[in-house]
Structure 1
Amino acid sequence: MVDEVLKRYKAGWENFFVIALTGSVSVGKSTISQQLSDELKKSFPGVTTAIISVDSFIFSNEELKSRGIFSEKGFPKSYDLKALSAALFELKNGSNEIKIPVYSQAINNIAAGEFETIKKPKILIVEGVCAFRIDNYDLSIYVDADEKLIYQWFLKRTLSFIRNSKDDPNNFYYQFSKMPIPKIMPAINQTWEQTDLRNLTEFIEPMKKKADMVIHKTKGHRIDRIIVN
């Protein structure tokens, strides 16, 4: 994976290089992005990297509710993609740094008044369910896995969020932490079926055909093959 990325980067290495990385919820996009960032810096001394999550540009819960699309949170319409593309345009056209909103998993919302500074790197990785919908990326990577495995990873992650929230009343998942698992499973499965699975089948998976590279994962989040297009 890293060799292929570097081959494409070196073809015009003096230019700002943007990698768009997408895939389903819970498929491991953030982990792969961080691994790729670390390996790039090890393999090419002097290269700098940064990661932006598309979630930083999701509309706040309050805005989603006012638009009547809170139930479609995570779908393309729930993101301010114009603002994300504008931020990337700033970096590509001379800005040395930008400030972007912060999405908090703990509150399941944009953290009001909080911003993260992104210093312009040589290689920027933009990861998230809508990453292929930004403008002017140089390399596209799709993280793929069997739907049944993705559901298992989604369930494991959700239960982990709930378990880790039991001592934090301000955490979004705290409301579920005092409930027995059988009682919360219907809500978890409803979220999967009506939001995350639908988002995958209708909006995310169709983008796979645009990918320059497909990383396929199997049990244990192990990468079992990489397809370069």
Structure 2
Amino acid sequence: MTATNTLHQTLYFSFLRQQWSELRNSVPLTLSEDELANLRGMNEQLSLDEVTDIYLPLSRLLNLIIDSKQQSSVVLDQFLNHKPTKTPYIISISGSVAVGKSTTARILQTLLQRWPEHPKVELVTTDGFLYPLAELTHNNLLKRKGFPESYDMKMLIDFISAVKAGEPNVSAPLYSHVTYDRLTDEVQNINQPDILIIEGLNVLQTALDPSPESKSSFLSDYVDFSIYVDAEESLLKEWYQQRFLKFRQGAFSDPKSFFHHYSQLSDDEANATAANIWDTINGPNLQTNIKPSRERANLILKKAANHLVDRVLLRK
């Protein structure tokens, strides 16, 4: 038995897919096939069965936890004679490039906002908090994009602390996957949501990690519930290569795309290029920064070869 499996048994309840599905407890499926198509990420075979078996039980769990947190806040306000405060519940979703965490975030947003207790659910990705392309290039960080040092952590912490404090109309920067850069003329306004979902590679980072940029606080300090989307690295690399080939025919074909030059590659050249990007950037980032934070998550969704979740680990 590996050390990781032993740690999982110690820290987590482990559920096979069918066991987890039974915890849905008759929560109705309110998502249509058309809606699912709009939420599905590139290269994912996500079905309504996946939503029913995996995400409906998760939305039920989160609804119960959030309800308990809201009741506790009311009790505390009464005890302290404070006016009720609107503090959002913050959920983080982490995992490797190509694992499908963005799709997980979009599905959870859609399902959670259909519970009457918390209809206002906002979703923010940390991509917008990457330093601008010119700054990354100037500081020789372009090949470290996605590593912790490539993010403006002060801007991210200022944003999340303002949202957590209940401030109205907090601006989050937006990111373009076409220009590979932060947008300069558009922002996302977050106005006192019931729930904020924040998705990104390094959202579970703490002071325990090597060379943290901030010595005082981290995004994880503000998170109420954290999810890690997991898969074996061999699968992640394969999914990344498949996605790269699809991007070559799609987003990369746009003349304005930062990666437009990749659109002219043959299949073999594209596969080799994607494999090299994985081996030199995404893989090392996964091993050094992302995967070591996995066991801090409250819940781990473990994916199998078909891109579907086959095991769920819930922290005890």
TM-score range, shorter chain: over 0.9
Give the alignment of 1:98-177 within 5 angstroms.
98-133=170-205, 134=219, 135-165=221-251, 167-177=253-263
Does structure 1 conserve the Cα–Cα contact (< 8 Å) formed by 2:92 and 2:227?
Answer: yes
C-alpha separation in 2, matches of 1:199 and 1:102: 23
Q: Which residue of 1 aligns with 2:149?
A: 77
Unmatched runs of 5 consecutive residues or more in structure 1: none
Q: Which amino acid in 2 is paired with 1:3?
A: R
CA distance in 2, matches of 1:91, 1:181: 45
Per the alignment, residue 291 of structure 2 pairs with: 205
% same residue: 28
Alignment of 1:58-73 (within 5 A): 58-73=130-145
Which of 162, 165, 189 is 1:93 aligned to? 165
State the secondary structure of the residue aligned to 1:220: coil
* Count of aligned pairs: 229
- Give the CA deviation at 1:114: 2.5
For 2:199 and 2:118, locate their aligned partners in 1 and report how far apart those are by CA, in whole Å.
23
Answer yes or no: is 1:11 the counterpart of 2:68.
yes
2:59 maps to: 2
Distance in 2 (CA, whole Å) between partners of 1:218 and 1:119 is 37
Q: Compute the displacement of 1:119 (Å).
A: 2.5
Gaps of 5+ in 2: 1-57, 74-86, 206-218
Cα deviation digits, residues 130-161 of structure 1 (max 9, x gap): 11131311111111011111112111211111
Q: Deviation per CA, 1:38-81, whole angstroms, max 9, x where unpaired?
A: 11122445431011101110111211122222111100110112
Distance 1:166 1:33, change over 3 A: closer
Alignment of 1:23-38 (within 5 A): 23-38=95-110
Greater Cα offset, 128-137 or 30-39: 128-137
1:215 and 1:157 mapped to 2: Cα distance?
21
Using CA pairs under 8 Å that are at least 6 residues apart, name the structure with larger relative contact order, 1 or 2: 1
Displacement of 1:3: 2.1
Structure holding more strand per residue: 1
Compute the TM-score of the two structures, normalised by the length of structure 2: 0.69
Amino acid at match of 2:141: I
User: What is the SS of the residue equivalent to 2:114?
Assistant: helix
What is the root-mean-square deviation in Å for CA atoms of aligned residues?
Answer: 1.6
Residues 218 and 43 of structure 1: CA distance in aligned 2, closer, same or farther (over 3 Å): farther
CA distance in 2, matches of 1:197, 1:159: 18
User: In the aligned structure 1, how far is the partner of 2:252 from the partner of 2:292?
Assistant: 38
Q: How does 1:50-61 map to 2 (within 5 A)?
A: 50-61=122-133
**Counterparts in 2 of 1:43 and 1:221: CA distance versus 1, 3 Å:** farther
